Amino acid sequence: MFNRLTYTSAGESHGPGVTMILSGIPAGLKFDVAFFEYELEKRNLDMGRGKRGAIEQNAYMLTGGVRHGITIGSPISIYFPNADYANWQQRMDPLLKPERITPITTPRPGHADFVGSVKYGFRDMRNALERASARETLARVAAGAIAQMLLKKCGCDVAAYVSYLGDKAYREPPVGMHPSDIRSKTQANIGYVFDIGELPRMQQQIDRARDAGTTLGGQLKFVLWGCPVGLGSYTDIQNRLDARLAMALMSIPSVKGVVLGAAIEQSRLHGSKTQDIVTAESSKTHHIYQSNMNGGLTAGVTNGLPLTGSIFLKPLSTQRKALRSIDADGHLKTAHKERSDVSAVGRATTVVSAMVALVVLDAVLEKFGGDAVTEIEQRLDSWRKAHPVIELRPDA
């Protein structure tokens, strides 16, 4: 997934905290505190959010890789203490075990409880469900925010929005709209939809699901502008950028499908109708395209058009009205209940943007990398000057 960056996280949902470590960020990048904290806050807000969101306030400690607000080339480490740990310390203390603790032995259908306990030999399924919790995505958003800081220096920008909640479609931005304009619309509302006027309908959906004791999935879309031609490669399977994007996005909890570009539509048309053709106004130095059905990627390599894709999330596994399950001793029981959201589709837009940014930045560093931000900017500028300007003009 990553060739130049190294990302890892540690920590359980109700443990002492979550740690993020990101290596490979060059020296000389200004750490934008306001943007970083805003991304963390977006991940915490959603119309379908449960009670945990009111407890965790995204406190953090920057413990490495940044000095006086500037990256210094060493690994960036950030620690996020879990405020809720005060209520879970006896159950989750890393070293001390209370005399009596009730193990979780009845898994929730669709969650990591059962498979995790089998794989690692646990009887207490909390050992599995804690790390499989979406609390882990806090570290992803932190790393992705840093990636976006550097991508903006490289002329790239990313946005994501909700296109479906459950089986209800929501209005989408016009084809070709820049991510900054999409964000100005979607970040102005807690549903992360393009049209703020559709929020009441979304709230009704969520309220009905909450009253029914169930959850909702949905579909997100992302767009990233500014990629130069030539990121990624078709020469080896591990270097194809489409494969790297798909892997990163599929790794997000609850994501069950990723589609790049207009792949579904392409699969149903003749080949003559699915290619992105230059317009008659194009020249050697300026290629103008009327469509972007391939989503900015050709043979695993960026072609200069915006990167686009769709992500499909299943409904969250934990149900307020618990489902039938079977415990570790083979007895039919009602599944374990854990605190959960009604929907995480809205705030997943922040996680999707983060993962896309990390993959694309890794590809940028792979091709134009240097020890300092200025080196990358100079190499990228020279590359852009040596190759045609690529433009998407849907109305051409």
Beta strand 286-289 pairing with 389-392: parallel
Total domains, the chain: 1
In a domain, 324, yes or no: yes
Q: Give the distance from CA 368 to its chain's centroid.
A: 24
In a domain, 118, yes or no: yes
In a domain, 10, yes or no: yes
What angle, 0 to 180 degrees and rounded to 10, lies between the N-to-C axes of helices 345-368 and 241-250?
Answer: 150
Rounded Cα distance, 169 and 241, in Å:
29
Per-residue pLDDT of the chain (396 residues; tens, 9 = 90+): 899 999 999 999 999 999 999 999 999 999 999 999 999 999 988 777 766 566 777 899 999 999 999 999 999 999 999 999 999 998 999 998 877 888 999 889 988 999 999 999 999 999 999 999 889 999 999 999 999 999 999 999 999 999 999 999 999 999 889 999 999 998 888 899 999 999 999 999 999 999 998 999 999 999 999 999 999 999 999 999 999 999 999 999 999 999 999 999 999 999 888 899 999 999 999 999 999 999 999 999 999 999 999 999 999 988 888 888 888 888 888 888 777 789 999 999 999 999 999 999 999 999 998 999 999 999 999 999 999 999 999 886
pTM: predicted TM-score of the whole model, two decimal places? 0.95
**Sign of the torsion angle spanned by Cα atoms 169, 170, 171, 176:** negative
Contacts of 382 (CB under 8 A, 6+ apart): none
In a domain, 1, yes or no: no
- The residues facing 100 across adjacent strands are none
φ and ψ at residue 345, rounded to 5 degrees: -65, -45
In a domain, 320, yes or no: yes
| Full domain range(s) for residue 204 | 6-392
Please provide the DSSP assignment of 58-112 as one string.
Answer: ---EEEESEETTEE-SSPEEEEEE-GGGGGTHHHH-SS---S------SPPTTSS
In a domain, 90, yes or no: yes
Whichever domain contains 229, its CATH number is: 3.60.150.10
What's the token pair of residue 396?
């051409």
**Sign of the torsion angle spanned by Cα atoms 131, 133, 135, 139:** positive
Please provide the DSSP assignment of 26-73 as one string.
Answer: PBT-B--HHHHHHHHHHHH--TT--THHHH-----EEEESEETTEE-S
3-state helix, strand, coil in the chain (%, to 5): 35, 20, 45
